[in-house]
A and B are shown apart, each in its own frame.
Chain A
Amino acid sequence: MTLLEAIILTVITASTPLLIAAIGELVTERAGVLNLGVEGMMIMGAAVGIAVAITTGSSALGVLAAILAGVGLAAIFAALALGLATNQVATGLALTVFGLGLSGVVGAPYVGLQRAGIGKIEVPILSDIPFLGPILFRQDPFVYLSIALVVGVSWFLTRTKAGLVLRACGENHASAHALGYPVLRIRFYATLFGGACAGLAGAYLSLVYTPFWTSGMTGGRGWIALAIVVFASWMPYRAAAGAYLFGGLTILQLHAQSAGVPVPSQLLAALPYLITIVVLVLIMRVRSQGAAGPQSLGTAFVPDR
């Protein structure tokens, strides 16, 4: 296997949790809901995922439990931000703090335990193609799921009526309501979807990436996912590009260090963040379509009847 191939495989692994969480949050935000609690939902997914997987011995149950954990936290957010029209930024932050703390409590008995990570799926014959084979046809199920999510969400948002309605809730909830659409219910489901994705991303971390539990193991990835949604101008394929860009830069800077590039390691480590800013600015200069995001993003919807 060449170095380039190895690097690409590592980049895919590093970018997948970012992508999964970002896609979920993208749908939530397209419906007009700003949920800053991604980090909290993700780490709860990681904690619950590995706790259930170790206890039951089943990875599948662990993943399912992680998704449910994400959905559960998202439901708390929805009850407050949608049901009681609380400020979404504050509610999301509270969710992050709450999720971080609760994950520590849930995960505490599992510190120091480990299990085999979920293995890769190998497509026979195709995966033996040199170079492209392993990259495309020998990946763990989460990678394929993340691609499916990108394609599926993009199709849903642009090609289905339901997606159009969801976007309308995000752009102008008053008009959507006037047209008779159940804005709050749509936003509710979008929020739960975002929670499911965040929980799934967390499960990836604790069941595949580094299969054990330690407190704080998401390491801020939830915040990066939020940034990727903005970077992507709320479009799914761009979110994939953003996730791979960020993951790629993170991995490349490690390779640069290992190869002895004489640049301070802190500067190399800062590159992913700096380049993300630069690319965002360049995108803004080239086109401003969709740049500001859904118009009603973050504003509570309280129907006046």
Chain B
Amino acid sequence: MNAPVPTSVTTALRPDLAAITAMIRPGTRILDVGCGDGALLEHLVRTKHVDGRGIELSQQNVNACVARGLSVMQGDADTDLVEYPSGAFDAVILSNTIQATERPRTVLEHLLRIGRRTAVSLPNFGYWKVRASLVWNGRMPRTRNLDYSWFDTPNIHLCTLSDFLDLTRLCGAVVTEAHALDENGETRPMKAFAISNGKMGGPNLLAPGAIFLLKKS
């Protein structure tokens, strides 16, 4: 939320958007936090006839959303989610944004409060190439999707998938669905045991990113 997601990321995340779309039930109320230019939200409105709302920080993206006929609030997930009533939405989407928030735990707690289900997609800093990059180069990793120097990255709270699962437990959430993202952005469902032991052995090492569907336990 603290910086617009670059276009390259949005393009690369197409399959991630498709996987999120598959999680959304038709005709429901959806809040897309960090909705970017509104591509996903418009897609959901058109194909799933959802009653969609967005939150977005960048002026350019907000105007793009408004021009698509979407209802979007210009604002920041870190400060604005507190204003939304509990249970106001059937599902809340946080797509490739949690790593850019100032207080990820507070944001996630609000998402779980506002939406009956919460879809979160995020990059995985436990991915083997990221680990290898740090080991071999001795420098903070730069990935295709997060191509920033450490000193000017908007992604201030990077984590591994295992770290994220720890946070979901801290927030009293359970994972009801999980998909690993591969190098090409294709998704495949994670096996239940990979999630249940909290260590995420396979995906935490092998997946560049993941999508989780959460609900309050």
> Is this pair of chains taken from one and the same complex?
no
Q: Which residues of B contact A (CB under 8 A)?
A: none
